[in-house]
A and B are shown apart, each in its own frame.
Chain A
């Protein structure tokens, strides 16, 4: 991945990430923890899960899902942090059907960092499009 063209890098990484993430969520849930950094944090409808382990545990307890993505957007975060590693901000929207529930629209954001050969999630934030609880 080229550091010289952060916009193109973030765009490519964002789209690829979104596809892989939801495919893993729907069909290989037990692997999903690996996409997160050790000190990652997930906010799922305002519920906080800190650390890779807690996130993994949360996902494995969630009912089976079927997700359809309808929108993906991504930008490079150029502000200096995390030792200047290439970083992308990704916004995904889709419909998710959790087993036993009606299909519902959500938007989920990710801050992902390039760790050499692979990209890892530092932050995830998921919200249904619903009235404020």
Chain B
């Protein structure tokens, strides 16, 4: 956040121009002042660039522009977090002498911050400075400053849901057209006290994710008049929205035609950019048209004017190939139940109060290590929740040359591994999130990977608010009737936003993931026939051999599979077993 300089006594005169990020400068640093002064000069003399003049003209013609043009006021309540949002809102609303509509109320460090639009309201709020007695017995400061576009501090779940709601109101499912024009003045958002201009990158990112996740089939998007100057955040549309043919971006602040490059690859046929500053750079219409067609070769309607048919060669289109994520990779039917059964049992035991029984899953000389770090798009950036594993995280990037530390953090021998697990806080894995990838399969060894989310308990027994995303790699060898882990690497991070949304409430009663479904670690032998049938299906063995194999393993399908797997890998099964 911008630090508020409380020593500063003077009140800046209201200004209308925006910084690059849309903030009014509040630090008063000399550089920023210089920039604003020079802009002031631009605005007050006739040196205005032509697009500015045009924009002012359009603004005058269009009463709705006033929304963005008008000045905002930023209200800061030091210590507002302590007083509580309810208290601050209630006290200010009841004492303010004119109707109070707060926008983008949020807590930042210890302060409460919100924005108001009306000059009179702002003045009335200012008068409340040091008049309200807080629950702590102190007087509440109310600091008012002018501001341009309100900050959108972070996209909380509440804001995201409001955005989704607004977008679904603005999406026509029949024509597959999405109207995002002047998004910030959407009534449903304003009524919730949210002012969310699309020129804020975090707002645009959220909107773009909603499009790519929920309506990648969109045919037309009208994104005009949003004061956007940076379209980088729209780039995912070019990858995900293969049907997007109509894009209206009129009245934004795009300065150069090359700023549109991130959108290359969109199959646009209809486009509008009228009113964007870059459109005024061209003396000849033809130059403008060819600059646009260089990026979008199939455009036939530009700024509502029909163009001559394009000359397009299909080979010219840039092909972007990012394969879709696939479910668990378990190609071998004969080994799938063995791996999945193992994974199921392993995590079942891991989540229990006593992790001692896991000893049997490890080889005498097992090696184990845990590493952790934060990644992009995770809740970490919002909550700053630390991944604290008592210095046990074996992340080489944090200990580049300390070979001794690397050695100390490698847990050696299964007794030490179990000891490590006994000290690890209790966990609750969500089997619904599991992906199991089998990457190496040999008679003597297998390597597979399990990823998903889990909930971690604090030492005091309560759960950490954020889910953990993990990835565990197991190297296993056959041992007795089952498998034994010889190597395990466990990586933990805070779940990404998408994972948090998908698995917020992990409940053991949910149906297990497709990876886990279809296997049986049944101990209940009421349905031997079912076990037998699935065992026969998986092994392709005949009834007699299947029954023998199961009998010898106490009808434990997992051990039976292990034996089967070993025998078949070493080619010790007679051909008549499969007749």
Residue A73 CB within 8 A of the other chain:
yes
Chain A hits for B397, CB < 8 A: 69-72
Residue A74 CB within 8 A of the other chain:
yes
Chain A hits for B445, CB < 8 A: 79, 81
Residue B128 CB within 8 A of the other chain:
no
Chain A hits for B471, CB < 8 A: 91, 93, 107, 109, 127, 129
Stretch at the interface among B51-59, B75-83, B147-155, B233-241: B233-241
Within 8 Å by CB of A91, from B236, B371, B435, lies B371
> How large, as a class, is the contact surface on chain A?
35 or more
Q: Complex: how many Å from CA A11 to CA B399?
A: 11
Contact with B along A103-133 (1 / 0, CB 8 A): 1111101010000000000111101111111
Name the interface residues of A40-93: CB closer than 8 Å to any CB of B.
41, 43-48, 61-63, 69-81, 89, 91, 93
Residue B437 CB within 8 A of the other chain:
yes
Residue B285 CB within 8 A of the other chain:
no
Inter-subunit contact A127/B451 (CB<8 Å): yes
Q: With A15-B396, A101-B235, A101-B236 as known contacts, state yes or no: A131 contacts B502, CB within 8 Å.
A: yes
Most interface-central of A46, A80, A89, A129 (chain B CB within 10 A): A129
Stretch at the interface among B36-44, B271-279, B403-411, B521-529: B403-411
Residue B377 CB within 8 A of the other chain:
yes
Name the interface residues of B295-351: CB closer than 8 Å to any CB of A.
319-329, 331
Contact with B along A1-17 (1 / 0, CB 8 A): 00000011001001100
Inter-subunit contact A7/B477 (CB<8 Å): no
Inter-subunit contact B325/A70 (CB<8 Å): no
Residue B491 CB within 8 A of the other chain:
yes
Inter-subunit contact A103/B396 (CB<8 Å): no
Inter-subunit contact A47/B326 (CB<8 Å): yes
Inter-subunit contact A7/B377 (CB<8 Å): no
Residue A99 CB within 8 A of the other chain:
yes
Residue A98 CB within 8 A of the other chain:
yes
Q: Which residue of B lies closest to A71 (CB)?
A: B373
Q: Complex: how many Å from CA A99 to CA B262?
A: 9
Inter-subunit contact A123/B447 (CB<8 Å): yes
Inter-subunit contact A47/B323 (CB<8 Å): yes
Kindly count the residue-residue contacts between A and B in the assembled complex, taking CB atoms under 8 Å apart.
200
Chain A hits for B265, CB < 8 A: 100
Inter-subunit contact A100/B238 (CB<8 Å): yes
Within 8 Å by CB of B239, from A89, A100, A133, lies A100
Inter-subunit contact A73/B327 (CB<8 Å): no
Name the interface residues of B54-75: CB closer than 8 Å to any CB of A.
none
Inter-subunit contact A78/B365 (CB<8 Å): yes
Residue A24 CB within 8 A of the other chain:
no
Chain A hits for B326, CB < 8 A: 45-47, 133
Inter-subunit contact B435/A132 (CB<8 Å): yes
Inter-subunit contact A101/B435 (CB<8 Å): no
Stretch at the interface among B90-98, B414-422, B493-501, B565-573: B493-501
Q: With A130-B325, A133-B325 as known contacts, state yes or no: A70 contacts B375, CB within 8 Å.
A: yes
Within 8 Å by CB of A72, from B396, B444, B449, lies B396
Residue B168 CB within 8 A of the other chain:
no
Chain B hits for A80, CB < 8 A: 444
Chain B hits for A69, CB < 8 A: 397
Q: With A91-B473, A100-B320, A133-B326 as known contacts, state yes or no: A105 contacts B403, CB within 8 Å.
A: no
Q: With A107-B491, A129-B375 as known contacts, state yes or no: A15 contacts B400, CB within 8 Å.
A: yes
Q: With A46-B435, A70-B397, A77-B475 as known contacts, state yes or no: A63 contacts B322, CB within 8 Å.
A: yes
Most interface-central of A75, A95, A101 (chain B CB within 10 A): A75
Q: Complex: how many Å from CA A93 to CA B397?
A: 11
Inter-subunit contact A81/B499 (CB<8 Å): no
Q: Complex: how many Å from CA A14 to CA B410?
A: 14
Inter-subunit contact B403/A129 (CB<8 Å): no
Inter-subunit contact A127/B449 (CB<8 Å): yes
Chain B hits for A128, CB < 8 A: 325
Inter-subunit contact A131/B329 (CB<8 Å): no
Q: Which residue of A lies closest to B496 (CB)?
A: A129
Within 8 Å by CB of B489, from A44, A79, A109, lies A109
Q: Nearest Cβ in chain A — how far from B479, in angstroms?
A: 11
Residue B433 CB within 8 A of the other chain:
yes
Q: Nearest Cβ in chain A — how far from B240, in angstroms?
A: 9
Q: Complex: how many Å from CA A105 to CA B499?
A: 12
Q: Complex: how many Å from CA A37 to CA B440?
A: 14
Chain A hits for B141, CB < 8 A: none
Chain B hits for A72, CB < 8 A: 371, 395-397
Inter-subunit contact A111/B447 (CB<8 Å): yes
Q: Nearest Cβ in chain A — how far from B340, in angstroms?
A: 14
Within 8 Å by CB of B496, from A41, A61, A122, A130, lies A130
Inter-subunit contact B489/A75 (CB<8 Å): yes
Inter-subunit contact B491/A73 (CB<8 Å): yes
Contact with A along B448-481 (1 / 0, CB 8 A): 0101100000000000000001010101010000
Inter-subunit contact B493/A105 (CB<8 Å): yes
Would you list the 4 A-B pairs with minimal beta carbon distance, nearest first? A105-B375, A46-B326, A131-B502, A71-B373
Further pairs besides A93-B471, A100-B262, A130-B498: 10, Cβ < 8 Å: A45-B325, A72-B396, A78-B365, A89-B475, A93-B375, A98-B322, A105-B376, A127-B325, A131-B503, A133-B435
Q: Which A residues fall within an 8 A CB radius of B?
A: 7-8, 11, 14-15, 18, 41, 43-48, 61-63, 69-81, 89, 91, 93-95, 98-107, 109, 111, 122-125, 127-133
Can you offer 27 A-B residue contacts whose CB atoms are under 8 A? A14-B396, A18-B396, A43-B439, A45-B323, A45-B325, A63-B320, A70-B375, A71-B395, A74-B396, A77-B486, A78-B365, A81-B444, A89-B475, A91-B371, A91-B489, A100-B238, A102-B209, A102-B377, A105-B378, A107-B491, A109-B489, A123-B439, A127-B435, A129-B469, A129-B471, A132-B432, A132-B514
Q: Which B residues fall within an 8 A CB radius of A?
A: 205, 209, 235-236, 238-239, 262, 265, 319-329, 331, 365, 367, 369, 371-378, 394-397, 400, 403, 406-407, 410, 432-435, 437, 439-440, 442, 444-445, 447, 449, 451-452, 469, 471, 473, 475, 477, 486-487, 489, 491, 493, 495-496, 498-499, 502-503, 513-515
